Amino acid sequence: MHKHSRLLALLVLIMTTTAAARPLTIERIFASPALSGPVMQKVKIAPQGDRVTFLRGKSEDREQLDLWEYHLSSGTTRMLVDSRVLAPDEVALSETEKARRERQRIAGLRGIVDYQWSADGQALLFMLQGDLFHYRLENGAATRLTASDAFETDPKLSPDGKAVAFVREQNLVVLELDSGTETWLTRDGHGTVHNGEAEFVAQEEMDRDTGYWWSPDSQSIAYIQYDEAAVEITKRYDIQAASVAVIEQRYPYSGKPNVALKLGVVARRGGRTQWLDTGSEQDFYLPRVAWLPDSRQLSYQWQSRDQQRLELRVVNLDSQQQRVLLSETAETWINLHHDLRFLRQQERFLWSSERDGYRHLYLYDNTGRQLAQLTSGRWAIDAVEGVDERGGWVYFSANRDAVTEQHLYRLHYASRDASPERLSARSGWHDISMDEDASIYVDTYSSRQQPPQVSLHQGDGKRLAWLLENRLDQDHPYALYKDQHQPTEFGVMKTPDGVALHHRMIKPADFDAGKKYPVFVYVYGGPHAQVVQNNWSSRLLFEQYMAQQGFVVFSLDNRGSARRGKAFEDPLYRRMGGIEVQDQLLGVQYLRSLPFVDSDRIGMFGWSYGGYMTLMSVLQAPDAYALGVAVAPVTDWQLYDTHYTERYMQTPEQNAAGYRQGNVLNHTDKLPADGQLPLLIIHGMADDNVLFTNTTMLFKQLQDQGKLYHSLTYPGARHGISGSTAQTHVHRSIARFFQRLQR
């Protein structure tokens, strides 16, 4: 009897285990709840340091975000604002807000997508359904501040917490919270004139999504006015499922006119704008604006059109005198950053620069005199995360210990000869959010094996609390699939001239070294991006799915990609689609050298620049690839915007040969006409970033040349083809297209 009981228990265990383990599906990857576990977005530490707030999607709808808090003393987590209860009716976003969210890569999200703390830590400001709400902790109530027919955007509380500024109908408005009085600081915003907004290239390419800045004393606002009258109008056909709208979008094509910019300062209560003298040159960029602590001096970064010169200028608003604190120059281009920090207790500032080949940190006084280079070496800082002036510490993230990882370090800048101290312990990726005084910070950690975990730390790195441990236990959404999760292997290969290229690989499920497998190559390949990272990325689950379908999954970071220093990036200057393609071919050679890879079954997939790379790779080397899938690709750099394209390619007039060589349309003749190299081209039909024209021109050329191809277009979809339904469909289509490589 005892023997039979043990046998029965064993059978039950086997049956339970079998039932629990499930194959990963694309439908489940994009369904709710998220397989990565609860996600904390926009994590912020309250000014008083007593709680941490964040946005979280609903368990049944991961794209509908609510406002939550974690209270440190009690260790409890609770919802502060339920977005559906506060605003149950769906309201169509304004075109301005749609475009802004697309630029921020949050177009698929609903509910509360951003918020801000008041300086006293007693209230929060957020926008919902086009109106502004003010939530006070003392009573737990959210008060609607606006209820106009117009759509408010980019709201910001004043530093004293008594007013809120926002943009309405292309004008800058201030609302006094105690009286409810609205003051229109500008009234000339209409037509092509915009006040307080960020122009298209600022949002898309400069990582600047605002056009105004409160002074520290809350008495003034600096703002940018832009006039897009000179920008060429392109008629973009916004194709929806049952309608077509002709959108006259002013798109700044490379080599064509940009917006005209003005920088001014206006009093909080209104009045005449004090316009600043930005110089005689009219064709320039204003990527950054920042107040000095005294509120009487304003800094701005002036960038030349060719992006080979960047000046940090300071204006004394009382005397109107200006001075250039420092100037950066480059023979190729200058990468922008957010690392400027004016110290409050000393007349000094921190700045980062790539002048020695890698981004490092420098200390200056407020006259522009360099006092010290604080960091150095063949590694790069990613961002200044915070400054503790009382202790003399600067905190920054960097790849000092591993190119494929990001860690938090601190350095005692007052000592000047100190070495960086690493604070993050675990191998992987650490995204940091610090409080104003850099006394505590939130660490969002992940690796290729661990979905994001969120913890609170004091300034020396000691963990104070788990905000989201997100353990992969039996209750985790990924529990049913984790046993099939394949490890990622990292490696390095060398180019013929000795440059190290990092790559990663996921081997198929039930890998057998004696078999030959097809390869799924994921590529991005463009500047300001790195694919080979030890983190839990948005692509990871789809790559796991492809590995479980029997593919070797492979990615390589070619020259031109980020976090390896300027010498690694610069080779693509004036010749996009050249060195990157060559390096990816080296990756193919490496794959073909592996005994378990079928050399005749290597396919490539990429999105955006990755779509461009896919097209350029399979068209220039059709013998190397068995198929290609390109989503939202640029095909002709003359159809892309000024700030991005000219940074790397100069203008079409200056670099006609580079534009010809980098044009996908000039390589289509190499595509076999019989369809033996299957090519799938996917594009959103309302894409306002990489215009759909890029793909329609490619369609026409392939048709004229009698070349067979496959296409998939998404009505109403923009560049990201956002939303769980659309994402499920596009990834199912990609996976099915790759099935033709299986035997």
Q: Which two tokens stand for residue 679?
A: 């090519």
Q: Catalytic residue among 430, 485, 719, 731, which?
A: 719
Distance of CA 696 to CAs 668, 676, 699, 706, 727, Å?
14, 22, 5, 15, 22
> Of the candidates 99, 146, 152, 109, which has an alpha carbon nearest to the alpha carbon of residue 130?
152
Please count the other Cβ atoms lying within 10 Å of the Cβ belonging to residue 11.
10
Task: Measure the CA–CA gap between 490 and 504, rounded to whole angstroms.
Answer: 4
**Rounded to 5, what percent of the chain is helix, strand, coil?**
20, 35, 45
Distance of CA 62 to CAs 110, 114, 208, 354, 607, Å?
9, 15, 27, 39, 23
Strand 297-304 and strand 309-316: the pairing is antiparallel
Is 687 a known active-site residue? Answer: yes
- Tokens 């396919």 found at: 603
Q: Note the maximum CA span of the chain.
A: 98
Task: Measure the CA–CA gap between 398 and 430, rounded to whole angstroms.
Answer: 10
Q: What is the DSSP letter of 497?
A: T
Cis bond upstream, residue 47 (ω within 30): no
Contact of 362 with 352, CB cutoff 8 Å: yes
- Tokens 């079928």 found at: 598
Q: Could you give the 3-state DSSP secondary structure of residue 55?
A: strand
Task: Measure the CA–CA gap between 405 and 154, rounded to whole angstroms.
Answer: 33
Using CA atoms in the order 165, 169, 170, 172, what is the torsion angle rounded to 10 degrees? -20
Length of the chain: 743
Q: Catalytic residue among 299, 608, 617, 722, which?
A: 608
- Tokens 């999760």 found at: 485
Beta bridge partners of 704: none
Is 719 a known active-site residue? Answer: yes
Return the half-sphere exposure (C-beta side, CA atoms, 13 A cut-off) of residue 122: 7
Q: Catalytic residue among 435, 443, 687, 688, which?
A: 687
Contact of 225 with 202, CB cutoff 8 Å: no
Known catalytic residues? 608, 687, 719
